[in-house]
Amino acid sequence: MVLLEVDGLKTYFKTQEGTLKAVDGISFNLEKGQAMGLAGESGCGKTTAALSIMKLLPANGFIAGGSINFMNQDMSKVTGDRLRAIRWRDISIIFQGAMNALNPVKRVGDQIVEPILLHEKVDEAVALKRVKELFELVGINPNRIREYPHEFSGGMRQRVMIAMALACRPKLVICDEPTTALDVMIQAQILQLLKNLQQELELAMIIISHDLSVLAETCDLLSIMYAGKIVERASAVEVFSNPQHPYTKGLIAAFPNIKGERKMPASIAGNPPNLINPPVGCRFADRCYMTQDVCRQDEPPLIEVLPGHFAACHFVKPRGV
Amino acid sequence: MPKELLVVDDLQVWFPVRRGFVESLTSKEQRFVKAVDGVTFNIKEREIFCLVGESGCGKTTTGKAILRLVEPTGGNVRYYGTGLNATMMKEAIERAVSKKMISKKEAEEALSTGAIDVRRLPKDKMKMLRQKMQMIFQDPYESLNPKQSIYDIVAEPLVVNNLGANEADREKRVAKALDDAGLRPPKHFMWRYPHEVSGGQRQRVGIAGALVLEPAFLVADEPVSMLDVSIRSEILKLMLDLRDKKGLTYLFITHDLSVAYVFSDRIGIMYLGKIVELGPTEEVIKKPMHPYTKALISVVPKPDPRMKTEKIILKGERPDPAHIPPGCRFHPRCPYAMEKCKIEEPEAIYVSQEHWVSCWLAAGEGKTE
C-alpha cells in the first residue's frame, strides 16, 4: 500500500534576489512501514522537501508544481481543520535540534498530553496513561513525566521528542537530522530506538541527514539529493554496493571508515550551485570528474538503471530493466 | 626519535560550584566540577595528537587550559618550542623589553630553547607565547564576526600583538596567511565578509587567522564537525599540508573517532576529565584495550549497510563531572565492572611501548568473557 506519493514536487522561495528553487522536481513513493533516507549536503533542499509534505513552509515559500498524495488525499487541497487533523495525527515530525524544541516552562508530560487531547476524544487520565506507555517505549522512566525539560540530558530530551512524535500513533514520521547534535554513544542509542520503533509499530519514516553512515544504519531506501533534485534513488544496500551517480560515489568516498584502510577520504571539490539561477544541464557538472559538453547543455533524466534503482546521469545506461 | 614539543603533566581544571547563601552558612565543603582531572600526555614535534571523547569529557577544556584561555587549577604544561627563536618572537620580546614589560634576563630565558613553564608564565609573556600557540575553533558560522571583513578578521591577531611595521606589511602577511589556508587568490577574498563565502571557506578563514602569527603549535577544536562531509577531508588535507610545509604540530580535539583514525598519529581517549587509553592511532583503533574505547569504536556508524557489526551500547549517559564516581570513574557504565573497580582507581598500564591503558582488566584482573 502506497502511503505517500510525491510526484514532481517543486518548492520555491521568494527572496529579494529572485526565486530560489530549493526543491525542483522530486518524486518518490513511500509504503507503509518503510524507512527512507534523504541525504545530501546542507542547502540541497532536503528539509524543505519534508516541510512541504507537512505544509509547514515559511511565508515566502510556496509549492510551485507537482503533487503530494498522502493516504489518497491530495495534500494541496487539504486545508484548515482537515490539515490540522492530519498533522501530528497522521504525519509527525522530529525537528532538527529537537532538544531545543521543547517548551522550557512546561512539564514534558503535559507537552505530550497536549496533542493527544487535541486530536482524540479522550480525557486527560487516558492521555497521561498513554504518555507513560510512550515513555516506556522510548526508554524513559515513566515517573519522570512531571519533570521539566532542563532536568533531562540531550539524549533524553531527544527521546521525549520521539515520544511526542509518536503520541497520536502516526503513520508517517519525518525525522530531520535526528542525531546531529548528539554524541556518538547517544546517537547509537537513538538510532537503535528509531529502528526498533519503526519495525514494531510499522511506521513509515523519512530520515533526513547529511550523514550517509547514519542513514546506512537505519533506512531501507535511500534518496540522494543534490541542488534540489534527487540524483539517485535505490535500496540502501544498492546505493552503497553499486552507486551509479558520480555525486553518490563522491559522497560515499568522503566518509572515513573506521573498519577500513587508514587513508584520508576523498573530497568533492567546489560548492553547490546557486539555486536562484541554477545552471542549465546537469547541476553537478561543475564538480563532476567526468563532465562532458552534454552535461552543460542537457539535464539528465532520472532513469531506472536496474530494477528499483534510479540515477540521473548522462553516463549511466539502463541495464536489465 | 622526534623531540617533544609539549608536555602536559597532571593537568587539572576545576570549576568551583557556586553555593547558595544557606549552603555557605552551613559551611558545607566547597564542591568542584572537575572538568579536567589529572591529564598527562606529550606531543612530539610535527605530530598530530588527538583527544577523543564524548561531549563534556573535558577535551576542549584541556585544549584551552594548555593555551591558558582557562586557568589550570593544577599540574604543569611545558612547552619546548624552538619556534620561539623565530625572528618574529624576538622582535616581539625586544619590543617588550624596550617598553620595560619584561626584564632582559626574562627575555633571554624565554628565548632559550629550554622548557617554558606555560602555567607560571606571567600574563603578558603568555600573550607572546600564544603567538606560537594558536587555536582553531569549532564553528566557522559563529566564530567569525559578521561585521568584519575577512581582512579585518585575519589581521586582528597582528593588531592585538602589535605586529607588522605598517598597513602594507600587515596586508602582505594577511595575504600570505589566506594563501596558506587555500583561499586563492587572497585578493579575491580579503575584502569580502563571512556571509559571502561558503562554510568550508569560512573554516579556512579561521585557519588563516591562526596562521597569520606563524605559530608552531595549533589546538584544533573540532575543526570539521560543523562542515559537510563532502568538504571535511579538504580541510583535513589542508591541515596535513600545513604540517608538512610549516612543520606544525597539532592537538586535534574531536568526538568523531573515524576522523581521528584517518588523521592523527596518536590518540588519547578521554572519559570524565581523564585519559583512559593512549597510544598510536592504528593500535588503539585496531586493538583497543579499555572497555570504553571498545564501546566507542563499536558505535561509530559505518558507511555501509552490508557491514553489520556488534554494537556495545553503554547504558545511561555520562555522569556529572561534579560527582565523579569513586574508583574507576567508568565503572557505573562498564559492562565488565568488578568489585575492585568500585574502590580503587587503576593506574596506567603499558601494553606496548607507547600504548597505555588505565583499566584493571589490562592488569590481568578479572575476565573480559
The predicted-structure confidence for B207-255, as pLDDT tens digits, reads as follows 999 999 989 899 999 888 888 888 888 899 999 999 999 999 999 999 8
CATH of domain A2-90+170-272: 3.40.50.300
Q: Which residue has the higher pLDDT, A101 or B52?
A: B52
- Give the closest residue to A205 by CA, choosing from A93, A116, A49: A93
Taking the C-alpha atoms of residue B43 and residue B66, their distance in angstroms, rounded to an integer, is 12
Residue B83: pLDDT above 50?
A: no
Best of A215, A258, A261, A288 to substitute, by most chain B Cβ atoms within 10 angstroms, is: A258
* A69: β partners: A5, A74
Residue range A154-169: mean pLDDT, rounded: 89
pTM, two decimal places: 0.85
B61 touches chain A (CB under 8 A): no
Contact residues for B330 (Cβ-Cβ < 8 A; gap 6+): B271, B272, B276, B290, B291, B292, B341
Residue B3: pLDDT above 90?
A: no
Radius of gyration for chain A, computed over Cα atoms and rounded to the nearest angstrom: 20
CA distance A102 to chain B (A): 20
CA distance A153 to chain B (A): 8
Contact residues for B181 (Cβ-Cβ < 8 A; gap 6+): B204, B205, B207, B208, B211, B238
Contact residues for B353 (Cβ-Cβ < 8 A; gap 6+): none
ipTM of the predicted structure? Answer: 0.83
**Could you tell me if B276 and B269 are in contact, meaning their C-beta atoms sit under 8 angstroms apart?**
yes
* pLDDT band (50, 70, 90) for residue B172: very high
Cβ-defined contact of A258 to B198 (cutoff 8 Å): no
A181 touches chain B (CB under 8 A): no
Cβ-defined contact of A217 to B54 (cutoff 8 Å): no
**Could you tell me if B200 and B235 are in contact, meaning their C-beta atoms sit under 8 angstroms apart?**
yes
Best of A151, A255, A262 to substitute, by most chain B Cβ atoms within 10 angstroms, is: A255
Contact residues for B41 (Cβ-Cβ < 8 A; gap 6+): B8, B49, B268, B275, B278
Q: What share of chain A is helix, strand, coil (3-state, %, to 5)?
A: 35, 25, 40
* pLDDT band (50, 70, 90) for residue B54: confident
- Give the closest residue to A34 by CA, choosing from A232, A179, A190, A201: A201
**Could you tell me if B271 and B58 are in contact, meaning their C-beta atoms sit under 8 angstroms apart?**
no
Residue range B138-158: mean pLDDT, rounded: 90
In chain A, the largest separation of any two C-alpha atoms, in whole Å, equals 67
Alpha carbons within 13 A on the beta-carbon side of A148: 5
Q: ∠ CA(A92), CA(A194), CA(A197), 5° rounding?
A: 85
* B49: β partners: B251, B266
Contact residues for B288 (Cβ-Cβ < 8 A; gap 6+): B277, B294, B297
User: Which of B261, B295, B317 is opposite residue A258, by nearest beta carbon?
Assistant: B261
CB contacts under 8 A, B 307-336 vs A, are: 307, 309, 311, 313-314, 317-318
Distance of CA A155 to the CA centre of its chain: 20
Residue A173: pLDDT above 90?
A: yes
User: Which of B237, B302, B313 is opposite residue A264, by nearest beta carbon?
Assistant: B237
Contact residues for B286 (Cβ-Cβ < 8 A; gap 6+): none
So what's the pLDDT on residue B90? 60
Domains of chain B and CATH, by start: 4-271 (3.40.50.300)
Q: How far is CA A289 from CA A40, A249, A268, A315, B231, in A?
A: 18, 11, 9, 12, 16
User: Which residues in chain A have their CB less than 8 angstroms from residue B259's CB?
Assistant: 256
User: Which residues in chain A have their CB less than 8 angstroms from residue B306's CB?
Assistant: 237, 240-241
CA distance B344 to chain A (A): 26
Residue range B55-73: mean pLDDT, rounded: 90
Phi, psi of A24 (to 5 degrees): -130, 70
Residue range B324-346: mean pLDDT, rounded: 90
Residue range A20-34: mean pLDDT, rounded: 92
User: Which residues in chain A have their CB less than 8 angstroms from residue B236's CB?
Assistant: 264
Taking the C-alpha atoms of residue A154 and residue B175, their distance in angstroms, rounded to an integer, is 42
A221 touches chain B (CB under 8 A): no
Cβ-defined contact of A41 to B230 (cutoff 8 Å): yes
- Give the closest residue to B194 by CA, choosing from B133, B135, B152, B247: B152
Taking the C-alpha atoms of residue A41 and residue B228, their distance in angstroms, rounded to an integer, is 6
Which residue in chain A has the smallest CA separation from B54? A183
Contact residues for A300 (Cβ-Cβ < 8 A; gap 6+): A282, A312, A313, A314, A316
Contact residues for A193 (Cβ-Cβ < 8 A; gap 6+): A138, A139, A159, A162
Cβ-defined contact of A252 to B303 (cutoff 8 Å): yes
Q: How far is CA A8 from CA A16, A69, B68, B115, in A?
A: 26, 11, 56, 66
Q: How far is CA B9 from CA B38, B43, B62, B80, B116, in A?
A: 8, 11, 11, 14, 13
Characterize A108-141 residue by residue with b for buried, 16 or more Cβ atoms within 10 angstroms of its Cβ, and e for exposed.
bbbbbbbbbeebeeeeeeebbebbbebbebbbbe
Element (H, E) at A30: strand A18-31
So what's the pLDDT on residue B1? 63
CA distance A293 to chain B (A): 25
pLDDT tens across A178-215, in order? Answer: 887 778 888 888 888 899 989 988 999 999 998 888 89
* pLDDT band (50, 70, 90) for residue B102: low
Which residue in chain A has the smallest CA separation from B198? A271
Cβ-defined contact of B304 to A262 (cutoff 8 Å): no
**Sequence letter at residue A202:** E
A250 touches chain B (CB under 8 A): yes
- Give the closest residue to B16 by CA, choosing from B321, B326, B272: B321
Contacts A–B by Cβ distance under 8 A = 121
Best of A180, A259, A286 to substitute, by most chain B Cβ atoms within 10 angstroms, is: A259
B254 touches chain A (CB under 8 A): no
Cell of B88: 618574529
User: Which of A217, A250, A265 is opposite residue B301, by nearest beta carbon?
Assistant: A217
Cβ-defined contact of B262 to A264 (cutoff 8 Å): yes
Cβ-defined contact of B256 to A251 (cutoff 8 Å): no
Cβ-defined contact of B233 to A266 (cutoff 8 Å): yes
CA distance B163 to chain A (A): 34
Residues A258, A264, A266, A270, Cα dihedral to 10°: 120
**Sequence letter at residue B30:** Q
User: Which of B198, B236, B313 is opposite residue A188, by nearest beta carbon?
Assistant: B313
Taking the C-alpha atoms of residue B360 and residue B334, their distance in angstroms, rounded to an integer, is 12
**Could you tell me if B238 and A269 are in contact, meaning their C-beta atoms sit under 8 angstroms apart?**
no
User: Which residues in chain A have their CB less than 8 angstroms from residue B200's CB?
Assistant: 271
Best of A185, A210, A219 to substitute, by most chain B Cβ atoms within 10 angstroms, is: A185
Which residue in chain A has the smallest CA separation from B233? A267
pLDDT tens across A253-303, in order? Answer: 888 888 888 888 888 888 888 888 888 899 999 999 889 999 999 999 999
- Mean of the per-residue pLDDT values of chain B: 85
So what's the pLDDT on residue B369? 41
Residue A63: pLDDT above 90?
A: yes
Cβ-defined contact of A184 to B299 (cutoff 8 Å): yes
**Could you tell me if A281 and A296 are in contact, meaning their C-beta atoms sit under 8 angstroms apart?**
yes
Taking the C-alpha atoms of residue B232 and residue B223, their distance in angstroms, rounded to an integer, is 9
So what's the pLDDT on residue B297? 92
**Sequence letter at residue B239:** M
So what's the pLDDT on residue B109? 60
Contact residues for B300 (Cβ-Cβ < 8 A; gap 6+): A184, A213, A258, B256, B257, B258
